Amino acid sequence: MKIKKGDKVQITTGKDAGKSGKIIDINLQTRRVIIDGLNLYKKHVKPRRQDEKGEIIDIPRPMDVSNVALVCATCKKPARAGYQVEGKKKIRVCRKCKATL
Ligand SMILES: [Zn+2]
- Residue ranges of domains in the chain: 8-94
pLDDT score for 12: 94
pLDDT score for 40: 94
pLDDT score for 15: 87
Q: How many angstroms separate the CA atoms of 96 and 10, rounded?
A: 16
CA of 39 to the centre of ligand 1 (A): 25
Encode pLDDT of 7-54 as tens digits.
999 999 988 999 999 999 999 999 999 999 999 999 999 998 888 889
Q: How many angstroms separate the CA atoms of 18 and 10, rounded?
A: 6
Does pLDDT of 73 surpass 80?
Answer: yes
Does pLDDT of 90 surpass 80?
Answer: yes
8-94 carries CATH number 3.40.50.620 = no
Q: How many angstroms separate the CA atoms of 73 and 64, rounded?
A: 22
CA of 8 to the centre of ligand 1 (A): 12
| Average pLDDT for 85-92 | 90
Please report, for residues 20, 25, 62, 87, the alpha-carbon distance to residue 37 in angstroms, rounded to integers and kept in the order given: 9, 12, 11, 38
Radius of gyration of the chain (CA): 17
Give phi and psi for 29, each to the nearest 5.
-70, -50
